[in-house]
């Protein structure tokens, strides 16, 4: 696999550093056009009600109890993301971008499992509910395909952030897209995860594939702007195999990647590579990119997870 020097190097290095303790030692200056915010979840204790009001029914008290439990779960997710300094480190990953406007990185309560880019205020939003969903769906034990719980969670977070960054770049730089934007954003995410060696690629691609493998495949929404979970699962596997066939040959051996699809994967990877070089590379500062590349690689286990189940909701990512 031909490695792009500093062009694609920045695309994952900063996010990978989100799980490396050496991040605190970096001397890279933050991008002044990037802001971050971990928004406090809505605390039901701040609602205008008296929990001792005799007019509250048993149903009211049950509802309030569920709201409180939900708040505690979301607050825990916020605390874990803050402790990992995910947004600070992701901002570092984005530092080589020449941004013509302010880009806001926001973690918040969304009342749905979601992540999305908003062009109205140029904000990339990661929902606390999505972290809870990733933790809930991650395998408790290593799967027969060799996917660990940490890989499933980290790969899900990384692929989500990179996907939404793809939307942000398309919008901010007015990148022309021939095809569906959601597929193009997935290609940016998958392609980027292959630029930092076999070990990193395995962790992130396997985790991203698990994200879609663990979804409900029974009732695909063919009308949706996104490809189906099955298609996205196979697309990530194909990108991995196309960019590094030796590392991901196991996908074919396990029967995950159909042998009919595999021969075309190298061409799909090369197509994504050419598109990145033509559309995104011109907006990178190569000197800053070199510095970002010096950051620590992925280290699983820094973001602690819990096993709390989160409610189902609409997913934009």
pLDDT at residue 52 tops 60: yes
Pair of tokens at residue 159: 């692929």
DSSP 228: P
Q: State the chain's maximal CA–CA distance in angstroms.
A: 70
Exposed / middle / buried, residue 236 (Cβ in 10 Å: 0-12, 13-18, 19+): buried
Q: What's the Cα-to-Cα distance from 81 to each of 85, 88, 132, 240, 263, rounded to whole Å?
A: 6, 10, 11, 27, 39
The proportion of the chain whose per-residue pLDDT surpasses 90, expressed as a percent, equals 56
- Mean pLDDT for the chain? 83
pLDDT at residue 8 tops 80: no
Q: What pLDDT, on a 0 to 100 scale, did the predictor assign at position 216? A: 86
Q: What pLDDT, on a 0 to 100 scale, did the predictor assign at position 28? A: 78
Q: What pLDDT, on a 0 to 100 scale, did the predictor assign at position 50? A: 67
Residue with structure tokens 């809870």?
132
Distance CA(201)–CA(233), nearest Å, equals 15
181-226 pLDDT per residue, tens: 999 999 999 998 887 678 878 888 999 999 999 988 888 888 899 9
- Give every CB contact of residue 149 below 8 A, 6+ residues apart in sequence: 138, 139, 140, 141, 142, 305
Mean pLDDT, rounded, for 130-150: 91
298-314 pLDDT per residue, tens: 554 444 444 433 333 33
Q: What pLDDT, on a 0 to 100 scale, did the predictor assign at position 26? A: 58
How much is the pTM?
A: 0.84
pLDDT at residue 23 tops 60: no
Pair of tokens at residue 77: 């997710």
Between the CA atoms of 124, 178, 274 and 224, what dihedral angle is there, to the nearest 10 degrees?
50
Q: What pLDDT, on a 0 to 100 scale, did the predictor assign at position 64? A: 75
Number of neighbours of residue 293 by Cβ within 10 angstroms: 16
pLDDT at residue 68 tops 60: yes
Q: What pLDDT, on a 0 to 100 scale, did the predictor assign at position 127? A: 97
DSSP assignments along 53-81, one per residue: -TT--HHHHHHHHHHHHHHHHHHHHHHHH
Mean pLDDT, rounded, for 156-173: 95
CB environment 109-137: b (16+ within 10 A), e (fewer)? bbebbbbbbeeeebbbbbbbbbbbbbbeb
112-128 pLDDT per residue, tens: 999 999 999 999 999 99
Q: Which of 255, 262, 258, 260 lies closest to 240, judged by CA? A: 262
Mean pLDDT, rounded, for 75-103: 92
Q: What pLDDT, on a 0 to 100 scale, did the predictor assign at position 43? A: 87
Exposed / middle / buried, residue 10 (Cβ in 10 Å: 0-12, 13-18, 19+): buried
């Amino acid at each position: 696999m031909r490695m792009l020097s500093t062009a694609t190097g920045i695309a994952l290095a900063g996010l990978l550093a989100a799980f490396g303790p050496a991040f605190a030692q970096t001397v890279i200056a933050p991008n002044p056009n990037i802001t971050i915010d971990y928004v406090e979840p809505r605390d039901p204790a701040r609602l205008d009600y008296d929990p001792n009001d005799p007019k509250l029914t048993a149903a009211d008290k049950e509802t309030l109890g569920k709201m409180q439990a939900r708040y505690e779960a979301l607050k825990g997710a916020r605390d874990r993301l803050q402790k990992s300094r995910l947004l600070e480190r992701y901002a570092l990953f984005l530092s080589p971008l020449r941004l013509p406007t302010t880009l806001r990185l926001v973690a918040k309560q969304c009342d749905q499992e979601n992540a999305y880019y908003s062009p109205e205020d140029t904000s990339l939003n990661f929902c606390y509910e999505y972290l809870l969903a990733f933790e809930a769906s991650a395998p408790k034990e290593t799967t027969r395909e060799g996917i660990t719980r940490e890989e499933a969670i980290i790969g899900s977070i990384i692929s989500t952030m990179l996907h939404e960054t793809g939307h942000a770049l398309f919008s901010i730089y007015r990148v022309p897209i021939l095809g569906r934007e959601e597929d193009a954003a997935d290609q940016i995410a998958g392609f980027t995860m292959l630029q930092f060696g076999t070990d990193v690629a395995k962790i992130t691609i396997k985790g991203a594939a698990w994200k879609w493998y663990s979804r409900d495949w029974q009732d695909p929404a063919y009308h949706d702007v996104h490809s189906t979970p099955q298609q996205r699962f196979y697309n990530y596997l194909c990108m991995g195999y196309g960019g590094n066939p030796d590392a991901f040959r196991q996908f074919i051996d396990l029967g995950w990647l159909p042998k009919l699809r595999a021969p075309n994967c190298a061409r799909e990877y090369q197509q994504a590579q050419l598109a990145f070089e033509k559309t995104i590379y011109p907006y990178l500062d190569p000197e800053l990119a070199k510095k970002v590349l010096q950051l620590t690689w992925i280290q699983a286990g820094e973001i602690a997870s819990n096993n709390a189940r989160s409610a189902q909701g609409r997913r934009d990512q």
